[in-house]
Structure 1
Amino acid sequence: MPNGPMEGVDESTWMDVIQKMDEVYSQLIDDEIELEKKNTELEQSQQFIFSVLSAMSDVLLVCNERGVIEETNAALCELVGRRDAELRGTSIYDLLADTQSTDRARTVLDNTNPPRRGEGLELNLLDALHQSVPVDANCTPRVAASGRRVGTVFVARPTAEIKRAYHELRAAHEALKRAQQQLLHSGKMASLGRLVAGVAHELNNPISFVLGNVHALSRYCARLSRYLAAVHAGEPAEQLEALRSKLRIEHLLGDLPSLIEGTLEGAQRTADIVNGLKRFSAMDPEARSPVNLNEVIGRAIHWVRKGVAPSFEVHWQPGAPCTVTGSAGQLQQVLMNLLQNALDAATGVGRSLPVVWIATDVGSTHLQLRLRDNGPGIAPEHLSHIFDPFFTTKPVGKGTGLGLSISYGIVEQHGGALSVRNHPEGGAEFVLELPLAEAVPA
């Protein structure tokens, strides 16, 4: 400050200068505070990015356009057994285990017009023990603000763990398929077990018929042998005629064709029953052929009637031919399960005679089969669980809860649908829809 007052400068001028200096100083303090705040936010952002890179389980590598490493993460450092400071400035090609990986990486880095989404490739890296480690890498171009490519970002995941998980998943899938097949076969065997009594009765008639005919043939054979022995011995004609009359050879010869025909018929009937059971119990999930559903319905009614429920009334008239493509044995199992379930429901309420109504409607591409019983219907809270495995409303020991679940799966495998509802006139109604054979693609 000068010793005396300056010419043209009064006290108010000095006050303005001091005020401006205060304002500038305050602004500097505010800018310094804001700068410190920005630095703190920048440090937090850097710490966040570092924590993210450290937490990544996938390998991360950032290099420039020449393949010089600029950034890594903890997963890569752990895999190759080197620190981040050691990796920076080195070439990405030093981390590759073979020439094929080097050629693939060079192709990506030399591409002047890479896709923005990046591209995938398989590389082999050298781990800490200098052993080859396969990784599945995604290579994305790194672009500057000017739009020029300045490098590449490699994000890779070791595929050994993925392959191991894939093999475990595949093994689990195969085990599930085997368990499903065993479950299907077990359900089929359970249905087959219901038919044991009826099958025994069904087989008893033709077998008894065959046995009776064979005993008669045995007696006829003894008579013919006795008569032929007399003929070969040269007995006189009068004695032969008397013996022929005594042994009733004429009657025997006349009865032989009917005995043989009846025996063949009984044997064929037995073979048909056995073949039907074999066809029903065979494990043929992949076998697909044209199936006349009317015949399947008829066989299902026949076997259920021959089983444990012979006394029930069925209202069904075979309509127009309805042919689907599938497994006759599996479809018969579905219908037998539905029939048996309907009969169990109708019998459980103490009705004198269970009644089942079956109707089929054939459309242009699908057919619909409706099966209704005169039982009490299904409780509303059970409708959504009726096809769940092991769900049953029957007492313990009376049902496994697998019949309807297996039937649902079989129908789905045939490209159809199985549903249930309570009929307005009473009882439960199952609706089975299947594509016609002409509508099933080859």
Structure 2
Amino acid sequence: MKEKTYLDNVHRLRALNFFSRLDEHILEEFRKNCVVCSISVGETVFLEGDESSGIYFIESGKVEISKRGVPIAILEAGDYFGEMSVVIEDEQTRSATAHALDDLVLFKIDLGFIKNYFVGERSPLYDLILTYNTRLKKHNEKVVDQYLSLQKNYLALGETNRQLLKTEKLASIGTLTAGIAHEINNPLTIILGYTDLLLKDPDLELTGNPLFQKGIRYIDKAAGAIERIVRDIKNYVRMNPDEIIKINLNNTIQSTLDIVSYLYRKNKITLNTSFTSRKIEIMGNPGSLQQVIMNLLSNAKDALEEIEEKEKIITVGTDVEEDMAVLIVEDNGCGIPPEKIDHIFEPFFTTKGINRGTGLGLDIIKKIVENMKGNIQVKSNRKEGAAFRITIPLA
């Protein structure tokens, strides 16, 4: 902050509304006691709790007034601040913080000088101002308290939402444990079997031996299967939603299906695919996209549990419509009741029984899709099942 010891002429003061009606000799006294302050953008004029020393009048620039870190006012040229230290006798410290939003030119009038002119002996007007100030301070305190409380609740809600996302993902991972174990165990059995054969056969000539070559090919294929499954699982559990990359939609769907295929076969559910021949690339987070697919598959699986008289089928398809990628997950299950279909994307709403779901799966899906600038819709028929249709912009 740079200060001059005096103001060069009264015309700059009179241009401010506060001084426009003062007599010339009074205005001259103010000029003699006026200090010009030049303050750069970002600087602090004074802090809440600082000792009061005078009133500031804004000739140019903007000032933000805040209380306990909460902005409560923005003042512009012609406004003034710090006046409570003048009209209220016991206001010895600043009740708020003043911060420069622009380069400022301020006129500072000393506290002692200005009190001689505008306070003097107490009057009904002064008592009225005192009462108004007391009420205003209480109101400001209440508003600031409410704001800070809302801010705290908002941050807590955001953390709760992040934890719910993790909980939903961990719950779906838990249902896949048996399938993952089975899928990994199958290729491992092949590897161990052929390795044991190659190691224990004393008569086996390795070079050029067809059995050796066959065994090596099986081992290579089985090891590749393990690598693929582990990679798919790692992508799914990746908890970094800020990582946005170009994703091959068909490949991501297929890798998700590879993870769950055993569980669905075990439940006698047929997984069909109908992928467009076009290469579809979208921008997004691979783990989040897999979570969308996984949750939709899980919902379809649950909807098929009541089906006994016909084959259980889930079909996953892709297409391209103009500049949008299309993903469709449909089942031939029990469908969604008409009175509930408008509510299924609401948080904590579920059509499943008690202890069968959190009611957050579709809400999470909707949020992920919308974060990818996409849209999700659902159609359902009680006799034909449900179909979820997602559209996402092409990369």
Report the CA distance between 1:64 and its aligned residue.
Answer: 5.8
Report the CA distance between 1:361 and its aligned residue.
Answer: 3.0
- Between 1 and 2, higher relative CO (CA 8 Å, sep ≥ 6) is seen in 2
Q: Percent identity?
A: 30
2:301 aligned with 1:313: no
Q: 1:197-232: CA deviations, max 9, x gaps?
A: 111110101222232344345547xxxxxxxxxxxx
On the 8 A contact 1:185/1:281 being kept in 2, the answer is no
Higher helix share: 1
2:241 counterpart residue number: 285
1:173 counterpart residue number: 154
CA distance in 2, matches of 1:399, 1:351: 25
2:41 counterpart residue number: none
Provide closer, same or farther for how the CA distance between residues 100 and 373 of structure 1 changes in structure 2, counting only shifts above 3 A. farther
- In the TM superposition, 1:17-56 aligns within 5 A as none
- In the TM superposition, 1:28-427 aligns within 5 A as 65=20, 102=55, 104-105=56-57, 107=59, 119=76, 123-124=81-82, 125-126=84-85, 128-134=90-96, 168-216=149-197, 218-219=199-200, 247-248=202-203, 250-251=205-206, 254=209, 262-308=218-264, 310=266, 311-319=268-276, 320-423=278-381, 426-427=384-385
CA distance in 1, matches of 2:288, 2:213: 40
Q: 1:79-132: CA deviations, max 9, x gaps?
A: xxxxxxxxxxxx999xx9779974x41527xxxxxxxx9837684443625011
Q: 1:167-193: CA deviations, max 9, x gaps?
A: 554443333222222211211111111
CA distance in 2, matches of 1:219, 1:427: 55
Q: Over aligned residues, Cα RMSD in angstroms? A: 4.1
Provide closer, same or farther for how the CA distance between residues 258 and 167 of structure 1 changes in structure 2, counting only shifts above 3 A. farther
Provide closer, same or farther for how the CA distance between residues 354 and 106 of structure 1 changes in structure 2, counting only shifts above 3 A. closer
Report the CA distance between 1:304 and its aligned residue.
Answer: 2.9
Q: 1:251-293: CA deviations, max 9, x gaps?
A: 5884666656654543443232222111101102111111111
Q: SS where residue 57 of structure 2 aligns?
A: helix
Larger Rg: 1
CA distance in 2, matches of 1:184, 1:291: 21
CA distance in 2, matches of 1:92, 1:354: 86
Q: SS where residue 160 of structure 2 aligns?
A: helix
Report the CA distance between 1:420 and its aligned residue.
Answer: 1.3
Provide closer, same or farther for how the CA distance between residues 279 and 331 of structure 1 changes in structure 2, counting only shifts above 3 A. same
On the 8 A contact 2:252/2:286 being kept in 1, the answer is yes
Provide closer, same or farther for how the CA distance between residues 256 and 165 of structure 1 changes in structure 2, counting only shifts above 3 A. farther
Higher strand share: 2
Unaligned runs of 5+ in 1: 1-61, 69-90, 109-116, 138-154, 221-246, 438-442
Per the normalisation by structure 2, the TM-score is 0.64
Provide closer, same or farther for how the CA distance between residues 100 and 191 of structure 1 changes in structure 2, counting only shifts above 3 A. farther
Q: 1:371-416: CA deviations, max 9, x gaps?
A: 3222232212101111122211222222222221211111111111
Unaligned runs of 5+ in 2: 1-16, 24-32, 36-45, 61-73, 100-132
CA distance in 2, matches of 1:106, 1:340: 63
Provide closer, same or farther for how the CA distance between residues 106 and 290 of structure 1 changes in structure 2, counting only shifts above 3 A. closer
Aligned length: 303
Provide closer, same or farther for how the CA distance between residues 267 and 166 of structure 1 changes in structure 2, counting only shifts above 3 A. farther
CA distance in 2, matches of 1:189, 1:353: 30
Per the normalisation by structure 1, the TM-score is 0.58
- Give, as a single letter, the amino acid of the residue that structure 2 aligns with 1:412: E
